[in-house]
């Protein structure tokens, strides 16, 4: 197989990957369970209530622009926009980092 054909196929994999990732990103706010994850759930069971609520309310070290994958006041559409934006951001950073790191 020629290098060009292979390269085109890998670009196809990229496009297919982007489509799948974006579909998951759009569906996630509607499908994702709102139950606490394993670590949070363990914390809820193992740490006394007062201490845990203090920990949960303590300000993070750095304030993030879209905490909890949401945009304030924008509801579900804001969540979709947040996860889609994150997906595109990760895609872009990985692509640029890959190009910068690869051997020339």
Partner 1 sequence: MHIPDSFIPMGQAIVYWVIALPFVFMSLKWARKELDDMKIPILAALAAGIFAIQALNIPIGMGTSGHMVGAVLVSIIFGSPFAGVLVLTLVLLVQGFVFGDGGITTMGANIFNMGVVSGFVGYYLFAALKSKVDIKAAAFVGAWIGLLVSALVCSVEMAIAGTFPLVAGLATMGLYHLIIGIIGEGLITAIVITAIEKSRPDLLDSSVTKAKGVRA
Residues that bind partner 1 (CB under 8 A): 1, 6-7, 9-11, 13-14, 16-18, 20-22, 24-25, 27-29, 31-39, 41-43, 45-47, 55-56, 58, 60-69, 82-83, 85-91, 93-95, 97-99, 101-103
- Report, in Å, the least distance between residue 98 CB and partner 1: 4
* Shortest spacing between CB 92 and partner 1, in angstroms: 8
User: Please, which residues have CB within 8 angstroms of residue 103's CB and are 6 or more apart in sequence?
Assistant: none
Helix-helix angle 3-31:75-101, to 10 degrees: 150
Do 71 and 63 contact (CB within 8 A), yes or no? no
């Amino acid at each position: 197989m020629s290098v060009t054909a292979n390269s085109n196929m890998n670009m196809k994999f990229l496009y297919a990957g982007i489509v799948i990732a974006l579909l998951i990103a759009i569906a996630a706010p509607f499908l994702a369970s709102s139950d606490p994850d394993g670590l949070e759930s363990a914390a809820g069971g193992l740490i006394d209530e007062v201490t845990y609520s203090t920990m949960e309310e303590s300000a993070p070290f750095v304030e993030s622009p879209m905490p909890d994958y949401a945009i304030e006041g924008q509801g579900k559409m804001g969540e979709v926009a947040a996860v889609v934006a994150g997906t595109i951001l990760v895609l872009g950073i990985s692509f640029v980092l890959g190009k910068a790191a690869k051997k020339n």
